[in-house]
Amino acid sequence: MTERMPALFIGHGNPMNAITDNPYRDAWLALGKNLPKPKAILCVSAHWQTHGTQVCIANPPKTIHDFAGFPAELFAQQYAAPGAPEFANQLCDLFVAGTVNKTENWGLDHGAWSILQSIFPAADVPVFQLSLNVDLDFAGHFSFAKNLAALRGQGVMIIASGNIVHNLGWLNPNSGPTDWALSFDYYIKAALETGNDDALINISLAGNVAKLSVPTHEHYLPLLYVAAVRHTDDEREADNAKPN
């Protein structure tokens, strides 16, 4: 039987984390050394939003530099992993026909390749990416994502990339995390530890700290995908180096 692959949520943070010496990249490098090698990787990134759900079948998927104002070194990065169209087809088969549309008009955005190049630096594992459907609410995303759990038993590692707290308007790199960011981070941690899916889906239960931490949905949604595909006998591990 194929070993059930892990499902990971990773806070990708600043794109420069991919090419500079920092504790986040160090953690990704260390993580990669301790993970099993999957047959394929499914990425769910905050940076691909579409009307309806799409899966990228490009082979190979292009490296997308979806940012501006960064040094040329960052734009020069290429993650030359092969695509995984056969696994993308398997994903589509998990849903009613027409639920997920195939496309070659994407690749790997920085939410995907910026962490993959540290976790799997050899770029020898096929990768495909799934979009976030802007027409779904939190409950809709969670329900949709539950269907993806079957892929883990087929050798597919699911990596979701976003941030639990993502409010650039309040970002101050010269100070530590705010009380409201820590409060929301602890709220999410408790919900994950206790398997409280309702708390993850209805983050308004956290109060005003949820509005400050999740002013827009796209960076939080990937977390729901990992929570939705967990198995009862999964061992949960967390890097508590910082609230993310």
Residue 206 lies in a domain: no
d(C-alpha 235, C-alpha 214), whole Å:
27
- Report the domain count for the chain: 1
Q: Identify the domain containing residue 28 by its residue range.
A: 7-163
CATH code at position 62: 3.40.830.10
The per-residue pLDDT string of the chain (244 residues; one tens digit each, 9 = 90 and over) reads 578 999 999 999 889 999 999 999 999 999 999 999 999 999 999 999 999 999 999 999 999 999 999 999 999 999 999 999 999 999 999 999 999 999 999 999 999 999 999 999 999 999 999 999 999 999 999 999 999 999 999 999 999 999 999 987 766 666 778 889 999 999 999 999 999 999 999 999 999 999 999 999 999 999 999 999 999 888 888 765 443 3
Residue written as tokens 């301790």?
Answer: 34
For helices 138-146 and 221-228, give the axis angle rounded to 10 degrees: 40
Residue 238 lies in a domain: no
SS3 of the chain: the string is CCCCCCEEEEECCCHHHHCCCCHHHHHHHHHHHCCCCCCEEEEEEEEEEECCEEEECCCCCEECCCCCCCCHHHHCCCCCCCECHHHHHHHHHCCCCCCEEEECCCEECHHHHHHHHHHCCCCCCCEEEEEEECCCCHHHHHHHHHCCHHHHCCCEEEEEEECCCCCHHHCCCCCCCCHHHHHHHHHHHHHHHHCCHHHHHCHHHHCHHHHHHCCCCCCCHHHHHHHHCCCCCCCCCCCCCCCC
Residue 187 lies in a domain: no
Residue 84 lies in a domain: yes
Residue 71 lies in a domain: yes
**CA torsion 146→150→151→157, rounded to 10°?**
70
pTM assigned to the model = 0.94
Residue 83 lies in a domain: yes
